[in-house]
């Protein structure tokens, strides 16, 4: 049971406190392995560590999105009218995050996510407050990855400031189950589903989305909801499934120690792959199937253009008019 540093001491204090005679009796009872069930452990769930930290990985230079990324960080590109980083921040906050850690690269300006734009409310009163001041209720920290050494190294930059298990959201991947205008906006629940899985199973989690072109992704072999293998870019005829890693992770509090063990000097940019393989072979790695979500990739122009169109077609304020225009335009 991974209780985390702060939560473990709190757990121990409460466990032996006279305020909790049920737990005290449970802890002092004679050892009987047959009596230990999920139901008998349920009183301990309130002492499990909260997932209060979320890492938004935004360190890349976005060279495949040049020239746009020369003027605007790709994480600030809008999905129609809401920037990617705002979507990511609100998804993490909806999942329960109280501290956001933005991992960036030297000279990359992402500070706008912390700015209060509520003065614009009088110009656009229909826009929800969370879109004008998206980080109002959380702390925001910035960590600089000085060299592009891969995902594992990017995560490592923030871990001294992280307490307990934490979410990781890749900065150029939106996982959307909600398609609304700014006045009815609601965050994606993708990260929230990972948190719920972690609370239930107390194991590291990754988000999965079903894809058709498996040869472009890390594809998982699943036994129920446990991942037994990740195959990078498999031949479609030999792919273990169609469930792909999609840039959402929930890792435990001892991840820093594991990244020290599976260091960049030894594993290079495959450091994060070594980390996931450790989880598969030890505590287990849960695959959370995100079945009602769209995966929008801002890493290249064509996927991002398709994302814009797909999202707009699904919106109640834009879909009907855009669909009619597209049909008319394609007939020319």
Q: pLDDT tens digit string along 27-61?
A: 555 555 565 554 555 555 555 679 999 999 998 88
The answer to whether position 267 is within a domain reads yes
124 with 22, same domain: the answer is no
pLDDT at 15: 37
Q: Report the candidate in 57, 91, 93 with the shortest Cα–Cα distance to residue 272.
A: 57
The total of structural domains in the chain comes to 2
Residues of the chain with pLDDT under 70: 1-48
Q: Choose among 85, 89, 68: nearest CA to 76.
A: 85
User: Distance from CA of residue 100 to its chain's centroid?
Assistant: 11
For residues 58 and 28, state if they share a domain.
Answer: no
Asked if residue 40 belongs to a domain, the reply is yes
The CATH number covering residue 118 comes to 3.90.550.10
pTM of the model: 0.85
How high is the pLDDT of residue 107? 86
Q: Which residues lie closer than 8 Å to 168 by C-beta, 6 or more apart?
A: 54, 55, 57, 155, 248, 249, 250, 251
Domain of residue 283, residue span: 50-201+247-330
Q: Establish if 191 belongs to a structural domain.
A: yes
- pLDDT at position 16 is 35
Report the C-alpha gap between 140 and 101 in whole angstroms.
Answer: 6
Residue 156 sits in the same domain as residue 28: no
Q: Does one domain contain both 158 and 301?
A: yes
In a domain, 217, yes or no: no
Same-domain pairing of 175 and 287 = yes
**Domain final residue, candidates 30, 45, 60:** 45
| Together in a domain, 8 and 94 | no
Reading the block at residue 134, the tokens are 């998206």
Q: Are residues 35 and 67 in the same domain?
A: no
CA distances from 41 to 1, 26, 55, 236, 261 (A): 11, 9, 30, 43, 32
Residues 5 and 85 in one domain: no
Q: How many CA atoms, within 13 angstroms, populate the side-chain half-sphere of residue 239?
A: 21
Q: What is the pLDDT of residue 12?
A: 39
pLDDT 10s digits, 164-173: 999 999 999 9
Query: Domain for residue 149, yes or no?
Result: yes
72 and 41 share one domain: no
Same domain, yes or no, for 326 and 258? Answer: yes
Phi-psi region of 163 (alpha: psi -120 to 50; beta: other; left: phi over 0): beta
Q: Is residue 242 part of a domain?
A: no
Q: Are residues 8 and 152 in the same domain?
A: no
Whole-angstrom distance between the N-terminal and C-terminal Cα of the chain?
Answer: 63
Same domain for 8 and 74? no
Residue 226 lies in a domain: no
> Is residue 38 situated within a structural domain?
yes
pLDDT of residue 45: 53
């Amino acid at each position: 049971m991974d209780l985390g540093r702060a939560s473990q001491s709190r757990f121990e204090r409460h466990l032996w406190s006279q305020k909790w005679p049920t737990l005290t009796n449970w802890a002092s009872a004679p050892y009987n392995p047959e009596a230990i069930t999920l139901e008998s452990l349920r009183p301990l769930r309130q002492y499990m560590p909260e997932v209060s930290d979320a890492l938004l990985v935004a360190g890349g230079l976005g060279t495949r999105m040049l020239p746009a990324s020369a003027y605007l960080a790709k994480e600030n590109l809008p999905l129609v009218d809401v920037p990617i980083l705002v979507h990511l921040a609100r998804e993490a906050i909806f999942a329960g995050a109280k501290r956001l850690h933005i991992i960036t690269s030297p000279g990359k300006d992402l500070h706008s996510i912390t700015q209060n734009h509520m003065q614009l409310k009088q110009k656009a009163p229909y826009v929800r407050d969370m879109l004008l001041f998206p980080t109002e209720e959380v702390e925001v920290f910035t960590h600089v990855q000085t060299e592009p050494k891969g995902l594992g190294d990017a995560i490592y930059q923030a871990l001294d400031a992280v307490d307990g298990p934490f979410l990781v959201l890749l900065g150029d991947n939106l996982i959307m189950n909600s398609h609304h205008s700014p006045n009815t906006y609601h965050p994606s629940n993708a990260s929230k589903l990972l948190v719920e899985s972690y609370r239930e199973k107390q194991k590291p989690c990754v988000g999965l989305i079903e894809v058709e072109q498996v040869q472009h992704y890390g594809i998982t072999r699943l036994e129920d909801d446990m991942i037994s293998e990740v195959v990078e870019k498999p031949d479609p005829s030999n792919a273990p499934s169609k469930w792909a890693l999609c840039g959402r992770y929930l890792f435990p509090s001892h991840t820093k120690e594991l990244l020290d063990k599976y260091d960049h000097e030894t594993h290079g940019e495959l450091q994060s792959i070594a980390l996931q393989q450790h989880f598969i072979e030890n505590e287990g790695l849960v695959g959370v199937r995100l079945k009602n979500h769209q995966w929008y990739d801002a890493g290249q122009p064509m996927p991002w253009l398709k994302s814009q169109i797909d999202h707009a077609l699904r919106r109640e304020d834009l879909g009907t008019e855009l669909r009619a225009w597209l049909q008319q335009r394609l007939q020319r």
